Amino acid sequence: MQRPETKARARALQILYAWDLSGRPSIETVVVRIARIYGAAPEGYDRGADLAAQAVAELPEIDRRIGEAAEAALRTADVLAQVTRAAPRN
């Protein structure tokens, strides 16, 4: 049996996936669509929708952080490539 928090996180991921695939409408629109498909909103669905809405609201910050991490990884890869090229070969 899953804990309620685990179910809510799983629902949030399902909602975010559907949100992204459907052109990023409002989270409420996605929740209604999913509820229609399944006949009724599953238990714990409100918390999942809340988590999904929080993730969407924080998307610019999340994108910024991912971009910074990617740039840092590229810089590290460039430095490693330079070190590898500069290393003496036997």
pLDDT, tens digit, 9 for 90 and up, residues 14-24: 999 999 999 99
Helix (H) or strand (E) holding 62: helix 59-86
Average pLDDT of the chain to the nearest whole number: 89
User: Is pLDDT above 80 for 34?
Assistant: yes
Cα 28 to Cα 26: distance, rounded to the nearest angstrom: 5
Q: Does pLDDT of 85 surpass 90?
A: no
The confidence band for 78, taking pLDDT boundaries of 50, 70 and 90, is confident
Predicted confidence (pLDDT) at residue 40 exceeds the cutoff of 80? no
Mean pLDDT of the 56-64 span: 96
